[in-house]
Amino acid sequence: MGALTQTGRVVLEGIDSRAFEHPADRAALHALRKVPGFDLALRKVFGFVGERSVRYLHLANAVRVGEHQFARVDRIYRDCLEVLDVPERPELFIVQTPIVNAGALGVDKPFIVLNSGAIDLFGDDELRFIIGHELGHVICDHALYKTMLSLLLRVSIAYGVMPIAGVALFGVVAALREWDRKSELTADRAGLLAVQDPEAAFRVQMKMAGGSRVSEMSVDAFSEQADDYDRGGDVLDGVIKLMNLLQRTHPFSALRLRALRAWVEEGGYQAVLDGDYARRGSEQADRRFHEEVLDGARAYRDSARKSEDPLARFFNDLADAGSTVIERARGVMRRD
């Protein structure tokens, strides 16, 4: 175990984003990074005007956190920066709105925005999770690809009158939305590493779903809701659940809690706290690209195999039946 902060949390020195990336997020992200010149082109398109515009908007119409403004949040933020060993402090702004949310914006110099509703709803440790979550997006360079998704959404609207192009764009946007949701699971892991208190991380998800009266809620019962969601209904219900999910930027709260709890129970979280994690610039952080893709593919496959969702079971059974038919056909051909 490494050095500790003044609050008693482990400092994760030199931690690389791959230490906590969700496998599915990691595979998609590395695939995007392998497109020649893509990062550079997108940075130029957005960074030249868009990033400056958004930052100036927040300078003019939000409150920048610092020693003399929102000192409580600033203290928590400094601790998160130290724990996650972030080399350069992104600016942090507070925006007045009752909607409970936060976000990481920008490309070359990303910054974080917290809605005032989140400050009102969450206690100190829960805020540590929220801020650590957004720092996770910054560390993983998610803002760049989220920008691409936003641009493609605008393009897809523009091409709405062109059916062929619209269908193609829908497929790309749907794939990016799937990555976008998986990136939130990665950021949740970063939030947990920042707060280093699983119960606080779980409370955030329950509050996001049910409000402030967390004393009237149960982690176990809320996690069971996720199980009931997966098991419930027939194939038609599975299609309805899929359609509900397609338009969301975040996974559902109960499913996020369950995913984070699984990471804790399977030992991944504790391994990082014990110092067993990829460090920036190390060989472990520079694994071969195809290994990253395979990790993501395995994660999707295992998730689909274990899922109790009726639609997932239908496709699993269909795939098994197809494999059986193919094997029988091969046997007939061999005999002939």
For residue range 258-279, list pLDDT tens digits in order: 999 999 999 999 999 999 999 9
Tell me the mean pLDDT in the region 215-234: 86
For residue 157, being part of any structural domain is answered with yes
d(CA 203, CA 212): 9
Q: What backbone torsions phi and psi does residue 30 show, to the nearest 5 degrees?
A: -70, -30
CB-hemisphere CA count at 13 Å for 20?
A: 33
Tell me which residue range forms the domain holding 233: 17-316
- Output the CA torsion 31→288→249→170 (10° steps): 20
Q: Enter the pTM of the model.
A: 0.79
Q: Which of 69-78, 176-185, 187-196 has the lowest mean pLDDT?
A: 176-185
Q: Provide the pLDDT for residue 206.
A: 96
For residue 334, being part of any structural domain is answered with no
Indicate whether 219 pLDDT > 70: yes
Instruction: Give per-residue pLDDT as tens, 5-59.
Output: 999 999 999 999 989 998 878 776 666 666 665 566 566 655 555 667 778 888 9
Instruction: Give per-residue pLDDT as tens, 247-262.
Output: 676 788 999 999 999 9
Q: Provide the pLDDT for residue 307.
A: 52
For residue 1, being part of any structural domain is answered with no
Amino acid at 323: S
Secondary structure (DSSP) of 68-83? TBSHHHHHHHHHHHHH
The contacts found for 196-202 with CB under 8 angstroms, 24 or more apart, are: 196/9, 196/10, 196/83, 196/273, 197/125, 198/260, 198/261, 198/264, 198/269, 200/123, 200/125, 200/126, 200/128, 200/129, 201/129, 201/260, 202/257, 202/260, 202/261
Number of domains in the chain: 1
For residue 5, being part of any structural domain is answered with no
For residue 330, being part of any structural domain is answered with no
pLDDT band at 325 (very low <50, low <70, confident <90, very high): very low
d(CA 37, CA 53): 24
Instruction: Give per-residue pLDDT as tens, 131-179.
Output: 999 999 999 888 777 766 666 666 555 555 444 445 555 666 666 777 7
Instruction: Give per-residue pLDDT as tens, 98-129.
Output: 999 999 887 778 899 999 999 999 999 999 99
List, edge to edge, every strand of the sheet that includes 111-115.
63-64, 92-95, 111-115, 102-105
Q: Provide the pLDDT for residue 106.
A: 79
For residue 11, being part of any structural domain is answered with no
pLDDT band at 311 (very low <50, low <70, confident <90, very high): very low
Q: Provide the pLDDT for residue 320.
A: 47
Indicate whether 187 pLDDT > 50: yes
d(CA 12, CA 14): 6
d(CA 165, CA 180): 22
Q: Provide the pLDDT for residue 162.
A: 44
For residue 8, being part of any structural domain is answered with no
For residue 336, being part of any structural domain is answered with no
Q: Provide the pLDDT for residue 242.
A: 65
Q: Provide the pLDDT for residue 164.
A: 44
